[in-house]
Amino acid sequence: MAGPNNGHPYGEREQGIWVRVHLFETLRGRVGRAQIEVTLQPGTTLEGLFHHMAAEVDEGFMDILVRPPGEPSICVVILNGRTLRFPRDLQRELEAGDELHLIPPIAGG
Amino acid sequence: MSGNWNKFLSVNLGTGEISIEEPGEELYRGFLGGYGLGARVIYSRQKPGVDPLGPDNTLGFTTGVLVGAPVVGATRFTVCGKSPLTGTWGDANSGGHFATALKKSGFDAIFFSGASDEPVFLYIEDGEVELRDAADLWGKDTVETEDALKEEFGQDTQVACIGPAGENLARIAAIIHDRGRAAGRSGLGTVMGSKRLKAIAVRGTLSVPLADEDRAKELRTTCMRVINADEGAARFRKYGTISHVASSTFSGDSPVKNWTGVGLEHFPTAEAISDDNVLKHEVKKYACYRCPIACGGVYRVESGPYAVDHSLKPEYETCAMFGSNLLNDNLESIIKANDICNRYGLDTISTAATVAFAIECYENGLITKEDTGGLELAWGDHAAIVRLTEMIARREGVGDLLAEGSKIAGERIGGRASEYAVHAGGQELAAHDPRFAPTFAVNAVADATPGRHTQMGLSWFEMGAGMKGMDIPDLDKYAVEGKGELNARLLNVMNAVLSMGVCLFVYGSRVEVPMWPEIVQAVTGWDCSLEELERTGARIGAIRQAFNVREGVRVADVPISGRATGHPPLESGPLADVVIDMETRKRDLYKARGWDPETGWPLKETLVDLGLEDVAKDLYGGTE
């Protein structure tokens, strides 16, 4: 399925879809990069992405992104420029070319 | 008495008379210090209706019950009085080394009344106090002033002073310490200028009496262990508040293009003025007195039009207000604008907000090229932004009008200009958008100091962070119902801890809130509990609000710019369609505080219950 950013140099690749994830604050500190591109199976949900990142990128993501059922994420998650709401959007399926911003709570200021 | 000296100074600048007062333990236990003690003393001394820039306005400099003790983050002094920006209670606070020096000089606070005919400064050294001639200092910037006083009295002298902006009664003037730590808000640098009080210079080497020094040190060690193990604290130690300039721009926390834009769409280059890019200019770290976090920095831009030397770090508020809100991604210009504000003694938040206001007026033909002396104003034009900042600092050309702040400037310009002034009750809003965390808007009008972002209350949780050790359930930040009780409780806690002189970046985000009563007990010997501190915070909140009521302020009608509350809503971006129901939220907060839900007045029974019988009499009549 074509995503909203299908003209970008990322998007559908071979068997999977690619999404771009921008990282901030402690997430950036953990990964050491400002953004990563993640390959996912078609039909992967946002919750699936969070589990994937915890497994493949840094297990610390589990603490930050995956909360017990019914509890909201403590990150601000922006998908293609719009803020997602939790837990409502956890089962939302990602599309090729999706762009996410994961923004942990600010530390002060 | 432990934790305090039971001594504060009263200085009549009109007569030159200086007296030492010993108010007794009840005042300290009831109001702690900071803006709590300041509000109690000034409420009692001052009649309502005084001109904020006249001699009858009392200006307080207070420390706090934990300042001078071995307590992490207890480094802040508060300046307080009636604000010339809002006509309400005003306060501002700053870290650095001044608070500790003042406390160690043998005094808990200073209250200035009257106005001097000639410029003066107050010199304090270990219990000795003297008003001195400041003719040679008048006209100097804040760095020159500090350098001159340190040269005269020694490098360990701590100075809080105004620059030319405060001298010239720019209404958005700040009080500066240590070349760039600012008690910036509420226009209190202007009050200092109106009294022709150039500076306070302090040398303090006395040891503050402590009830249980060993226990206080033990608790400090515990706090240090918590901080040193905290991942967020480690990042904060490296970056400080600039850590989140970009992320706040993209999340919607930061205002963009005078509160009309969307970060992801209109300011995608925010990374240029955030975290690692800012750190490139850091020469060395800066720490407030014995702070283990040391979130500040000393900055230099080596060459070019924005060269500065030994300037303090532009903090998040400054980067956002001179950056995203002006669509300015030229970092060196932001460092320069910050330096101008610090040297001249201007509040960076109000100054940058007023620059945004001016650009929008210019864009809409309400300020012309003739008005600006040929300077063309445009979003992102960093040279024009820096130049206009200088003009405000010097009250030069159109800067003379803009130095009054955006609300007054809008009223004088007329037409639609007032729409472009984004403020609450006369004070420009700081860089935390209520559409991202709605309680910011509620507290900006329902608390006694309009337009402040440090009265966070529940907004701290709405931003996802929260205070450690406070059992607050996860909430949908946009849900309206059920917020008042939680917000009131958190505001009470904050009133208490801030009044102790503790830094916002330490007390709840690093150290668990239930530890503070233990720390107070170790320092003072009081049998203190969190319940007592919450009640003290309620008392402090009530007397500040009563100050405004007594001034004749229609406290429930303090306005806030529609742009900040989604009137009209943004059409795109992370905050699209957010509209904040202010009335319900305000009523719920008032009710939870024991204030009238419609008028915002603290109820008589609330005041009496909090031990403020004299205030109840003032507001409602009858005998005490």
Under 8 Å CB-to-CB from B361, ≥6 apart: which residues?
B367, B413, B417, B420
Count of CB atoms situated within 10 Å of the CB of B410: 22
Model pLDDT, residue B593: 98
In whole angstroms, give the CA distance from residue B507 to residue B491: 13
Spell out a b/e string for B80-111, using b for 16 or more CB atoms within 10 Å of the CB, else e. Answer: bbbbbbbbbbbbbbbbbbbbbbbbbbbbbbbb
Q: Nearest CA to B477 among B492, B462, B465, B459?
A: B462
Residue from the list B244, B317, B575 with its beta carbon closest to the beta carbon of A107: B244
| Amino acid identity at B435 | R
Model pLDDT, residue A105: 83
Verify that B191 and B293 share a domain, yes or no. no
pLDDT tens digit string along B298-346?
999 999 999 999 999 999 999 999 999 999 999 999 999 999 999 999 9
The CATH number for B294's domain is 1.10.569.10
Residue from the list A72, A104, A107 with its beta carbon closest to the beta carbon of B236: A107
In whole angstroms, give the CA distance from residue B560 to residue B85: 14
Verify that B263 and B199 share a domain, yes or no. no
Instruction: Provide the pairing of β-strand B197-203 with B59-62.
Output: unpaired
Residues of B with CB below 8 A from A82's CB?
573-574, 576
Please indicate, yes or no, if residue B439 is contained in any of the structural domains: no
Taking CA–CA distances from B231, the nearest residue in chain A reads A26
Name which of A54-68, B142-156, B280-294 the model is least confident about: A54-68
Instruction: Give the orientation angle of helix B530-550 with respect to helix B484-499, to 10 degrees.
Output: 90
Start-to-end CA span in chain A (Å): 42
In whole angstroms, give the CA distance from residue B426 to residue B88: 10
Q: Which whole-number Å values give the CA distances from A59 to A52, A66, B371, B396, B405, in the listed order?
A: 10, 11, 59, 57, 49
What is the pLDDT averaged over residues A58-67?
72
DSSP B31-59: H-BHHHHHHHHHHHH--TT--TTSTTS-E
Verify that B199 and B260 share a domain, yes or no. no
Model pLDDT, residue A73: 64
The answer to whether A106 contacts B248, with C-beta atoms less than 8 Å apart, is yes
Q: Nearest CA to A76 among B494, B573, B222?
A: B573
The answer to whether B573 contacts A25, with C-beta atoms less than 8 Å apart, is no
Dihedral pair phi/psi, residue A50, rounded to 5°: -60, -45
Verify that B13 and B152 share a domain, yes or no. yes
Minimal CA separation from A108 to chain B, in Å: 6
B182 with B53: CB under 8 angstroms? no
Q: How many beta-carbon pairs below 8 A join chains A and B?
A: 87
Please indicate, yes or no, if residue B572 is contained in any of the structural domains: no
Flag whether pLDDT at B407 surpasses 70: yes
Please indicate, yes or no, if residue B136 is contained in any of the structural domains: yes
The residue from B363, B386, B421 where one domain ends is B421
> How large a percentage of chain A has pLDDT more than 90?
40
3-state secondary structure B176-225: EECCCEEECHHHHHHHHHHCCEEEEEEECCCCCCCCCHHHHHHHHHHHHH
pLDDT tens digit string along B602-612?
999 999 999 99
Instruction: Give the orientation angle of helix B530-550 with respect to helix B613-620, to 10 degrees.
Output: 30
pLDDT tens digit string along B159-181?
999 999 999 999 999 999 999 99
In whole angstroms, give the CA distance from residue B112 to residue B473: 44
- The answer to whether residue A32 neighbours chain B at the CB level (below 8 Å) is no
- The answer to whether residue A104 neighbours chain B at the CB level (below 8 Å) is yes
pLDDT tens digit string along B561-574?
999 999 999 999 99
Model pLDDT, residue A1: 37
Please indicate, yes or no, if residue B276 is contained in any of the structural domains: yes
Q: Which domain holds residue B63?
A: 8-203
Verify that B197 and B318 share a domain, yes or no. no
Q: Kindly tell me the burial class for residue B242, based on how many C-beta atoms sit within 10 Å of its own C-beta (0-12, 13-18, 19 or more).
A: buried
State both tokens at B611.
Answer: 């031990």
Confidence of residue A24 (pLDDT cuts 50, 70, 90): very high
In whole angstroms, give the CA distance from residue B202 to residue B104: 9
Confidence of residue B588 (pLDDT cuts 50, 70, 90): very high
- The answer to whether residue B574 neighbours chain A at the CB level (below 8 Å) is yes
Model pLDDT, residue B532: 98
> How large a percentage of chain B has pLDDT more than 70?
100
| Amino acid identity at B351 | T
Verify that B91 and B152 share a domain, yes or no. yes
Spell out a b/e string for B316-330, using b for 16 or more CB atoms within 10 Å of the CB, else e. Answer: bbbbbbbbbbbbbbb
Evaluate the omega torsion of the peptide bond into residue A9 and state whether it is cis, within 30 degrees of 0: no
User: 3-state class of B356 per DSSP?
Assistant: helix
Verify that B319 and B198 share a domain, yes or no. no
Confidence of residue B262 (pLDDT cuts 50, 70, 90): very high
- The answer to whether residue A5 neighbours chain B at the CB level (below 8 Å) is no
Flag whether pLDDT at A6 surpasses 60: no
pLDDT tens digit string along B181-214?
999 999 999 999 999 999 999 999 999 999 999 9
Provide the number of structural domains found in chain B.
Answer: 2
The answer to whether A108 contacts B236, with C-beta atoms less than 8 Å apart, is yes
Verify that B151 and B289 share a domain, yes or no. no
Please indicate, yes or no, if residue B233 is contained in any of the structural domains: no
pLDDT tens digit string along B361-386?
999 999 999 999 999 999 999 999 99
Start-to-end CA span in chain B (Å): 28
User: Is the torsion defined by CA of B178, B179, B184, B188 positive or negative?
Assistant: positive
Count of CB atoms situated within 10 Å of the CB of B150: 15
Flag whether pLDDT at A67 surpasses 70: no
Residues of A with CB below 8 A from B265's CB?
81
| Amino acid identity at B305 | P
In whole angstroms, give the CA distance from residue B151 to residue B137: 13
State both tokens at A94.
Answer: 């990602």
Confidence of residue B22 (pLDDT cuts 50, 70, 90): very high
In whole angstroms, give the CA distance from residue B197 to residue B205: 24
The answer to whether B262 contacts A81, with C-beta atoms less than 8 Å apart, is yes
Count of CB atoms situated within 10 Å of the CB of A63: 12
Q: Based on C-alpha coordinates, what's the Rg of chain A?
A: 13
Please indicate, yes or no, if residue B92 is contained in any of the structural domains: yes
Verify that B269 and B127 share a domain, yes or no. no
Please indicate, yes or no, if residue B596 is contained in any of the structural domains: no
The residue from B166, B185, B203 where one domain ends is B203
The CATH number for B158's domain is 3.60.9.10
Model pLDDT, residue A3: 41
pLDDT tens digit string along B454-470?
999 999 888 877 788 88
In whole angstroms, give the CA distance from residue B424 to residue B559: 6
In whole angstroms, give the CA distance from residue B582 to residue B137: 47
The residue from B203, B232, B247 where one domain ends is B203
Please indicate, yes or no, if residue B102 is contained in any of the structural domains: yes
- The answer to whether residue A63 neighbours chain B at the CB level (below 8 Å) is no
Count of CB atoms situated within 10 Å of the CB of A36: 15
ipTM of the predicted structure? 0.88
In whole angstroms, give the CA distance from residue B427 to residue B407: 8
Model pLDDT, residue A70: 57
Dihedral pair phi/psi, residue B258, rounded to 5°: 50, 45
Q: Kindly tell me the burial class for residue A2, based on how many C-beta atoms sit within 10 Å of its own C-beta (0-12, 13-18, 19 or more).
A: exposed
Verify that B197 and B267 share a domain, yes or no. no
Verify that B375 and B305 share a domain, yes or no. yes
Domains of chain A: 12-103 (3.10.20.30)
Count of CB atoms situated within 10 Å of the CB of A91: 10
Verify that B196 and B294 share a domain, yes or no. no
**Dihedral angle over CA of B611, B614, B620, B623, nearest 10:** 110
Say what the pTM is.
Answer: 0.96
Dihedral pair phi/psi, residue B604, rounded to 5°: -55, -45
- The answer to whether residue A22 neighbours chain B at the CB level (below 8 Å) is yes
Q: CA neighbours within 13 Å on the CB side: how many for B498?
A: 25
B488 with B592: CB under 8 angstroms? yes
